[in-house]
Structure 1
């Protein structure tokens, strides 16, 4: 626990007081946690939930209790391990298990050969030789190598996805596709519903584009509307925040939800569908607060933005709405189809099903789906008048440069979470929790842990990355009575409440929109807090009503 507290202090103090880049703060904290973790803790974390305890033994039978979720219970080579605080002094006995049988009292392992001293086996742990060898090897690995391996593992999970998402966002902005999406939605709803159009547009754009970029893109439109009507400036600004901020924390491929989903082994399609499903309720609550706040407080347009005076780009110079929306819709559709196919369609009997399963498995792969989205986004840019392949290459290079920084931060956060997991904190916290803590209690824990980290250090993405390292081991120990996507959504919801002066987004919105600090606190901060709590309540209700297990 000391190592975790020290690591968290390094992250918080490094970001807040020393003004270190988030990657450096996370990386230094990761090294410290790894160095302070004993080999025995690393070993315990590696075998967690992969063992079963021997309660009774006879010549060729072992009565097992406390069988872990990842034990496997498959015939093969196993070790009987008697624990010791020193990894070098672990005592092992090799056995071959012919089969496992379920009994009223637990599980029985049938051995091929008899035990010479069955009485000494009582209290030992049964573990597969493969799992044991991996755990011992990991425990003997140096801290720096463990950190390096964790960095590489995280990149393998999400590095390509973030790079492709960056390309999609950059190309949508430069091609005018993002502007086309906003204009089309606004025209379809009419000027009376401009604020609603801004909500829908920002929600859609924030799926592949980072929230601050969406805000920069749409703020001139909000200012232009306020200049034209002479009122409702607060409503137009808040409508952008309402739509964009929840997608940033709940719907991949933005880094936070993408990383959380990968750590919980939740498919990107399931995370996207779940994020939209619970995020809608937060958006509705935020929309009503926006209407109330706009009636209560009159905040004038104080910032003069030249882009707000400029005439909108001619429709003929923008790509069509269909082409503009494809880079966003196609990846989401493919990811969702893979999830639907695996859940409901894979067992259907049809001569074409093997071909269909193969095709949707390939196209619905997260890396393939996002790559196709990036190709479609580049298509919107290359079809722009006077666009050359050289300029396209520069745009992609810029996107990858910006995405590379995000990848570094996310990978460092993943390594930090893995080092926290290797301290075996999950078992310690799970043992200290009341027996009644399960299900909704675990969701509440995930939500409030993320919220506390968010309030302390400011970044929603860093809060999600740091919280997952604490929450996952506990969830593994306790077990989930519902689909893990709900735990991922609870963490995403917890990254929203109580943003204040240590959040870069707070200052972006305050300075760009011309709000004072007090105005930003009572509008932006309260808005995100309401949306986070409402979305969390929607998550809890969905988990109880539709556990999906």
Structure 2
């Protein structure tokens, strides 16, 4: 119980120093991580390596993705491509449903793509649609975040659900898992969409814009006119759609059973589908959008600006991962797993364990993988050792891994920082939205169990 109180105290301290005293989230998270190593009695010889390794590993895994994604985003904004995309989507879906647009795009994109990467790639589009529709960035940010979060946690080939499927021996039934996962994740995303729609006209004190030409600080019509002739929608979407298609094909090529074969074509698709390679190709497509005289100079300016914008996001994301790693190495995770697993609550057991681990250490993927390992030997006693029961258990784990995204989750910081949402406001919106969709997903899974078990 003391370990749980320490966690609550650390989270409260992060919120206090960042929201009230305006301390950098990077310093607040890094300080909380170092303080947690002492409070949780992690050996001194392991404390600093735990922090630095998690920081470095996270930047190694998604650092280049964030940088290249930000480069694409800056070029899309400065070339007018983001405006062109917004106009095209509004024509198809109408001006009345910008939040639905972001939810559906996120829902589709995050099936093969990590939600962090998906948000970075789609943020410029979100900002353009926000400005075009004239609504609060809180609404579109929440809608995109939860759309991405839904399939990221519930639908293979995203690594978390795929790893859980392997741990619970249902890899031969991925078709059933994907089918049910798509249904459950859609309902959960729509539930979060209802919450996001309530924020459409909610004002908030946004963090300062990184640039004066940020899409969210100008009148849309004046901004549109300032670009003159906009890029063709196909060329505007290409820097985003190309990497997403490549990543999706690469994920399919890596599925069990080798659906695309094991030859040169599959190897090439896996290589091209690596997020970093896919985004480099997306950046190459974005360069084609730069027009006018002095293209090379404009390109260099955009790259320099992209690095400046990406730097604080990288630092905050790495510090959040370091905080989560310390919590994961602490006795807290064992305490939560032991106390929840012994309650005998059927599908509620994998859900509650995953929810507790997600809330405690931040990473959805870590929560899913860890919970699957803990739950696997318990399936028989929980009445979930059938194929259907195991599939539903995987989904329950994924639903639990949505509850809740807060200060120790790198995705929380990616969304809040890119969307210029203050920490206190993010807790009242982004964090609540992930709780809503996680609980909704579990409710749907329980309904399915009544019919299928």
Q: TM-score, normalized by length of structure 2?
A: 0.65
The structure that is strand-richer by fraction is 1
* 1:222 maps onto 2:133 in alignment: yes
CA distance in 2, matches of 1:545, 1:153: 43
Instruction: Tell me the SS of whatever aligns to 2:250.
Output: helix
* 1:436 maps onto 2:344 in alignment: yes
1:92-491 map, 5 Å = 141-189=45-93, 193-196=94-97, 199-200=100-101, 204=105, 207-209=118-120, 216-223=127-134, 240=140, 243-247=143-147, 249-250=149-150, 280-285=186-191, 307-308=219-220, 310=222, 312-313=224-225, 317-343=229-255, 346=258, 353-380=262-289, 382=290, 384-386=291-293, 388-433=295-340, 434=342, 436=344, 439-447=347-355, 465=362, 473-479=370-376, 481-482=390-391, 487-488=397-398, 490-491=400-401
Shift of 1:202: 7.1
Q: Deviations over 1:210-267 (max 9, x none)?
A: 88866653343223xxxxxxxxx7xx98874574242454577xxx99xxx7788869
Aligned pair in 2 of structure 1 residues 15, 435: CA closer, same or farther (>3 Å)? closer
CA distance in 2, matches of 1:357, 1:187: 37
1:78-93 map, 5 Å = none
Aligned pair in 2 of structure 1 residues 414, 525: CA closer, same or farther (>3 Å)? closer
Aligned pair in 2 of structure 1 residues 420, 437: CA closer, same or farther (>3 Å)? farther
Q: Higher relative contact order by CA 8 Å / sep ≥ 6: 1 or 2? A: 2
Shift of 1:13: 0.9
Aligned pair in 2 of structure 1 residues 299, 472: CA closer, same or farther (>3 Å)? closer
Partner of 1:118: none
Aligned pair in 2 of structure 1 residues 241, 143: CA closer, same or farther (>3 Å)? closer
Partner of 1:124: none
Shift of 1:411: 1.8
Q: Aligned to 1:28, which of 27, 31, 34? A: 31
Q: Deviations over 1:106-153 (max 9, x none)?
A: xxxxxxxxxxxxxxxxxxxxxxxxxxxxxxxxx794422332223222
1:504-515 map, 5 Å = none
Instruction: Tell me the SS of whatever aligns to 1:195.
Output: coil
Partner of 2:15: 15
Partner of 1:6: 6
Q: Does the CA contact (< 8 Å) of 2:66 and 2:314 recur in 1?
A: yes
Q: Deviations over 1:176-209 (max 9, x none)?
A: 22211111122235xxx32235632575489344
Q: Does the CA contact (< 8 Å) of 2:404 and 2:431 recur in 1?
A: no
Aligned pair in 2 of structure 1 residues 309, 146: CA closer, same or farther (>3 Å)? closer
CA distance in 1, matches of 2:324, 2:271: 30
Shift of 1:364: 1.8
Q: TM-score, normalized by length of structure 1?
A: 0.55
CA distance in 2, matches of 1:535, 1:406: 30
Shift of 1:525: 9.6
Q: How many residues align?
A: 388
Aligned pair in 2 of structure 1 residues 475, 33: CA closer, same or farther (>3 Å)? farther
Partner of 2:115: none
Instruction: Tell me the SS of whatever aligns to 1:357.
Output: helix
CA distance in 1, matches of 2:275, 2:163: 11
The structure that is helix-richer by fraction is 2
CA distance in 2, matches of 1:543, 1:431: 25
Aligned pair in 2 of structure 1 residues 424, 354: CA closer, same or farther (>3 Å)? farther
Aligned pair in 2 of structure 1 residues 5, 156: CA closer, same or farther (>3 Å)? farther
Aligned pair in 2 of structure 1 residues 356, 365: CA closer, same or farther (>3 Å)? same
CA distance in 1, matches of 2:242, 2:307: 21
Shift of 1:417: 2.2
Q: Does the CA contact (< 8 Å) of 1:443 and 1:540 recur in 2?
A: no
Instruction: Tell me the SS of whatever aligns to 1:148.
Output: helix
**Structure 1: which 5+ runs fail to align?**
40-138, 224-232, 454-462, 497-502, 512-516
Shift of 1:371: 2.7
Q: Does the CA contact (< 8 Å) of 1:164 and 1:370 recur in 2?
A: yes
Q: Deviations over 1:28-83 (max 9, x none)?
A: 222223345557xxxxxxxxxxxxxxxxxxxxxxxxxxxxxxxxxxxxxxxxxxxx
Shift of 1:363: 1.2
Aligned pair in 2 of structure 1 residues 213, 318: CA closer, same or farther (>3 Å)? closer
